[in-house]
Structure 1
Amino acid sequence: MQKTTPASSPDAYVAALDGWRRACVGELRAEVRAASAMEEVVKWRHLVYLANGPVLLIRAEEARVLFGFWRGQQLRAIEPGLKPGGKYEMATLELREGMTVDPATVRLLTRKAVALNRTLGDPTLAAKRS
């Protein structure tokens, strides 16, 4: 994927990838979309899923794919590999070539993240109120 030109759509984002990154992003995307109805957009040069604010992201980089959640620190009991960092209680799972995530875990993380936004509101707005 070219770093200088953002993808025009989620489909274009995936189509611009190759090899293991395309497969990894495609699999994550399919499970996320099957788990919950969310708006899927390209924002900040990666896939972002919205339901009452940002819920999760999928970002393909040169040597890894990041699967991150805005309130991911609250999801670490489900997936201990989520590494805390950034604002909004963010936590991210780093995937490299040859690594996988159980599809049931992807769906559970997605459903729980959507439920957190439903209960607690938009994490970006909640952070501004703090």
Structure 2
Amino acid sequence: MMRRSMAAPTPQVYLAGLDGWIARQAHSLREAVIAAAPLDESIKWGHLVYHSNGPVLLIRAEARRVLFGFWRGTLLRNIEPRLVPGGKYELATMTLLEDTLIDPAVVERLVKAAVRLNRTLGNPQRAAG
């Protein structure tokens, strides 16, 4: 469950506002993401967003799930088929529930591939516009 009602000013405050399994999933994802590649981390649109030549991925804690999403995620489904396409910029997200497992090695592969796509194709927000 989440305790926060307003947008958090920093990633640390965002994570501190989470409870229970939501907090565990979000912390675990964040650790794997940070270990995978040098990314700029911020709060944008009310959740964690990671950038490298534009937005790369997001972690969004909600009341009953954690979303793990990638700009250009449709191009990453060969690595993680649970990514579901939807939205602009080839966005695809994976829903994590309390019992959802994701191997940190898979997170690492996803992050590295997503960073590589931004390096090769440019900022996904600019490329689409």
**Other-structure match for 1:121:** 122
RMSD of aligned C-alpha atoms? 0.9
One-letter code aligned to 1:70: W
Q: How far off its partner does 1:120 sit?
A: 0.2
One-letter code aligned to 1:84: P
Between the aligned residues of both structures, percent identity stands at 56
Provide the secondary structure at the position in 2 that maps to 1:47.
strand
> How many matched pairs?
128
Q: How far off its partner does 1:8 sit?
A: 1.2
One-letter code aligned to 1:7: A
Note the 1:62-81 alignment, pairs <5 A.
Answer: 62-81=63-82
**Other-structure match for 2:89:** 88
TM-score of the superposition, structure 1-length normalised? 0.96
Provide the secondary structure at the position in 2 that maps to 1:5.
coil
1:7 and 1:48 map into 2 onto residues whose CA distance is 12
Note the 1:107-118 alignment, pairs <5 A.
Answer: 107-118=108-119
- Structure 2 unpaired stretches of 5+: none
Provide the secondary structure at the position in 1 that maps to 2:95.
strand
Provide the secondary structure at the position in 2 that maps to 1:99.
coil
Contact 2:10 2:42 in 1 (8 A): yes
2:105 and 2:26 map into 1 onto residues whose CA distance is 16
TM-score of the superposition, structure 2-length normalised? 0.97
**Other-structure match for 1:36:** 37
**Other-structure match for 1:8:** 9
Provide the secondary structure at the position in 1 that maps to 2:60.
strand
1:94 and 1:126 map into 2 onto residues whose CA distance is 26
